[in-house]
């Protein structure tokens, strides 16, 4: 199944992602993105939850989300009629496009990926069997 080609991102979340990326540099930051379940496009993301980056110390080109955080967030969001809709991480160097490592790690095709570039640019990507496809971000208040 293909994800929607546009998503609405709350302005506060955008600011949080940029802050988190700046704090984590030169390492990658990472976290999860949640929003309401409304069954209609575009997808809405209105909350970001930071995760520890569990990639080995010193790694500056990889991230690993905290699986326990992911599971507990799934439970609490579901109980509130919401869902985990995506994940984010930063690229302290390079561009806000999926790396080879990202492409290899994109196993869950229900989550949109937001990548924060070194200059604060944020781009959205859907993992699909043939690779990532970019989605348009519309920032909403
Ligand atoms: Zn990456």
pLDDT at position 40 is 66
The confidence band for 111, taking pLDDT boundaries of 50, 70 and 90, is: very high
Which helix or strand (DSSP H or E) is residue 119 part of?
none
Residue 106 CA to residue 111 CA, distance in Å, equals: 9
**pLDDT tens figures, 45-97:** 999 999 999 998 778 889 999 999 999 999 999 999 999 999 999 999 999 99
Closest CA to 88 of 36, 141, 30, 45: 30
Q: How far is the CA of 67 from the centre of ligand 1 (A)?
A: 17
Residue 140 CA to residue 137 CA, distance in Å, equals: 9
Q: How far is the CA of 81 from the centre of ligand 1 (A)?
A: 30
Q: How far is the CA of 125 from the centre of ligand 1 (A)?
A: 11
Q: Is the pLDDT of residue 1 over 50?
A: no
The confidence band for 38, taking pLDDT boundaries of 50, 70 and 90, is: confident
Q: How far is the CA of 48 from the centre of ligand 1 (A)?
A: 17
- Residues of the chain with pLDDT > 70: what percent? 95
For residues 107 and 68, which has the higher predicted lDDT (pLDDT)?
68
Q: How far is the CA of 65 from the centre of ligand 1 (A)?
A: 12
Residue 10: both structure tokens together? 């709350």
Q: Order of strands across the sheet with 131-140?
A: 43-45, 6-10, 131-140, 122-128, 112-116, 82-90, 30-36, 47-51
Please state the separation of Cα 88 from the chain's center in Å: 2
Query: What residue ranges define each of the domains in the chain, with the CATH number in brackets?
Result: 6-140 (3.40.140.10)
- What length is written for the chain? 141
Q: How far is the CA of 98 from the centre of ligand 1 (A)?
A: 5
Q: How far is the CA of 57 from the centre of ligand 1 (A)?
A: 16
Contact predicate 105/98, CB 8 Å? no
Q: How far is the CA of 2 from the centre of ligand 1 (A)?
A: 21
Q: How far is the CA of 99 from the centre of ligand 1 (A)?
A: 5
Q: What is the pTM of this model?
A: 0.93
């Amino acid at each position: 199944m293909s994800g929607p080609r546009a998503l609405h991102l709350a302005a506060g979340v955008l600011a949080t992602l940029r802050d988190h990326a700046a704090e984590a540099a030169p390492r990658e930051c990472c976290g999860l993105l949640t929003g309401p379940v409304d069954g209609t496009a575009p997808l809405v993301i209105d909350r970001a939850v930071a995760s520890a980056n569990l990639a080995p110390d010193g790694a500056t080109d990889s991230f690993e989300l905290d699986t326990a955080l992911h599971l507990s967030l799934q439970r609490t969001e579901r109980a509130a009629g919401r869902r985990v809709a995506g994940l984010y991480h930063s690229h302290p160097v390079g561009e806000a496009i999926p790396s080879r490592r990202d492409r290899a790690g994109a196993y869950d095709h229900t989550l949109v990926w937001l990548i924060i570039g070194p200059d604060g640019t944020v781009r959205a990507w859907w993992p699909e069997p043939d690779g990532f496809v970019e989605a348009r971000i519309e920032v909403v208040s």
